[in-house]
């Protein structure tokens, strides 16, 4: 499978873009490959500039739950665009967006739209500090909540993939006020609160972790988070940028029935355009300017094109049978990948919920970042390259999730499984 045009463009890109990419993992360095440059997407497939076609299991890292170039989404964007692209003034579609989010996530009594998941989590953190009057936050080891300073301590996602322990340029004070505990470990969390009495503003956690690879909460873990934070007067922030509208229409909150104080959403809510949101209890959200002293603003927040795309995808996801179908496809993929590894005698674990799947190359059950790091990343790199040669586009990182979309067919999934078996046996 030739990628000569991609390689030529990559050489040009490296002259004008740091690393040749606008988001680090796309460079494919951890899997020993050069990136392919995508020319177009259609349904469950993408095509690169060399004309190679791939079954896509990245889905733009989660947003494309309906697949590429969905006609209803494109029509919604075109309709909104016919009236203008941005105004810097309120529009009615922003109100409908917030009403739709609140209906799906009752914990989000008030909602503010922003343009990225990082912006949503960064502002939720500032709001938690402003509301509580405390400075410290707690995150989990391997949890990734965007690239704001306070979150780049022991972070997952691309930070983990590239083997970076933190980030240069983060002030010592920002790191000092970020406390880290293992995911799924309530005892460590309680001990952290005891050691920092009256100082912790919030605990931020992915209720379904997606940035150390997919890791599910143990029974009682989320309930324990709620109990401990309430006892110590701290806020509980659920980062559902990945799991929101992905795990179910109501995200992790719809599965586990635990109510956070603040929630962040992203990816799917933009329908493939840059949009995200955060929200929570009314008394907390009313601390935001212009009502309160916590400042946040954004020129393109609530952009009508992104709002239109987001509202359309959410209306489609709210149709009967959608999540049942996504779960069927995810189960077919997860079961098939595990069977392929077993047939090849390769130690592997598969974690899955709904249409999110991670294949870890380890014999150790993966329940936190420490166990995720037991994975054989060199084997994953070889697997990635072999799968791409066979026409399957995987996330170029062991510590990420694959995403199935409604555009995938049973036959697409079976082709992925067959390619996995051949790759692992070969």
C-alpha closest to that of 346 among 359, 329, 333? 359
Q: Catalytic: which of 139, 267, 373, 421?
A: 267
Contact 99, 335 (CB under 8 A): no
Which residue, chain included where needed, has tokens 């079976």? 414
Q: Catalytic: which of 45, 54, 144, 183?
A: 144
Helices vs. strands in the chain: H and E counts, helices first: 15, 14
Q: Is 267 a catalytic residue?
A: yes
How far is it, in rounded angstroms, from Cα 179 to Cα 154? 10
Q: Is 369 a catalytic residue?
A: no
19 exposed, middle or buried (CB, 10 Å; 0-12, 13-18, 19+)? middle
How far is it, in rounded angstroms, from Cα 136 to Cα 138? 7
Return the H-helix or E-strand segment holding 351. Answer: strand 349-353
Contact 42, 53 (CB under 8 A): no
384 exposed, middle or buried (CB, 10 Å; 0-12, 13-18, 19+)? buried
Please say whether the dihedral angle defined by the alpha carbons of residues 183, 187, 190 and 194, taken in this order, is positive or negative: negative
How far is it, in rounded angstroms, from Cα 33 to Cα 393? 13
* CA-to-CA separations, 56 to 136, 170, 250, 361, 418, in angstroms, rounded: 40, 35, 25, 21, 15
Q: Determine phi and psi for 305, rounding to 5 degrees.
A: -70, -45
Q: Is 144 a catalytic residue?
A: yes
Q: Catalytic: which of 48, 149, 239, 261?
A: 239
Active site residue ranges: 144, 239, 267
């Amino acid at each position: 499978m030739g990628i000569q045009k991609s390689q030529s463009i990559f050489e040009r890109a490296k002259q004008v873009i740091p690393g040749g990419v606008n988001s680090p993992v796309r460079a494919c360095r951890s899997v020993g490959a050069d990136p392919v440059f995508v020319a177009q997407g259609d349904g469950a497939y993408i095509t690169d500039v060399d004309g190679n076609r791939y079954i896509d299991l990245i889905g733009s890292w989660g947003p494309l739950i309906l697949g590429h170039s969905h006609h209803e989404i494109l029509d919604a964007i075109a309709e909104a665009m016919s009236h203008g692209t941005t105004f810097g003034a309120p529009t009615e579609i922003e109100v409908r967006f917030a009403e739709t989010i609140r209906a799906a996530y009752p914990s989000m009594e008030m909602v503010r739209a922003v343009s990225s998941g990082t912006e949503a989590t960064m502002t939720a953190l500032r709001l938690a500090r402003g509301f509580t009057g405390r400075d410290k936050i707690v995150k989990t080891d391997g949890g990734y909540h965007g690239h704001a300073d306070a979150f780049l301590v022991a972070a997952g996602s691309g930070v983990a993939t590239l083997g970076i322990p933190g980030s240069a340029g983060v002030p010592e004070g920002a790191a000092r006020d970020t406390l880290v505990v293992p995911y799924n470990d309530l005892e460590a969390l309680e001990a952290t609160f005891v050691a920092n009495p009256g100082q912790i503003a919030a605990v931020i956690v992915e209720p379904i972790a997606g940035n150390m690879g997919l890791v599910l909460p143990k029974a009682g873990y989320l309930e324990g988070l709620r109990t401990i934070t309430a006892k110590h007067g701290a806020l509980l922030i659920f980062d559902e940028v990945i799991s929101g509208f992905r795990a179910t229409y109501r995200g992790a909150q719809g599965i586990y029935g635990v109510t956070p104080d603040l929630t962040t959403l992203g990816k799917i809510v933009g329908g493939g355009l840059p949009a995200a949101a955060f929200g929570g209890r009314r008394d907390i959200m009313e601390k935001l300017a212009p009502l309160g002293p916590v400042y946040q603003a954004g020129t393109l927040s609530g952009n009508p094109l992104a709002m239109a795309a987001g509202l359309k995808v959410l209306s489609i996801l709210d149709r009967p049978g959608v999540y049942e179908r996504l779960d069927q496809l995810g189960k077919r993929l997860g079961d098939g990948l595990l069977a392929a590894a077993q047939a090849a005698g390769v130690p592997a674990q598969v974690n899955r919920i709904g249409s999110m799947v991670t294949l870890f190359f380890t014999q150790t059950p993966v329940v936190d970042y420490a166990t995720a790091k037991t994975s054989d990343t060199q084997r994953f790199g070889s697997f990635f390259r072999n799968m791409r040669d066979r026409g399957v586009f995987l996330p170029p990182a062991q510590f990420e999730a694959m995403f199935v979309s409604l555009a995938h067919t049973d036959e697409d999934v079976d082709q992925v499984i067959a390619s996995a078996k051949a790759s692992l046996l070969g």
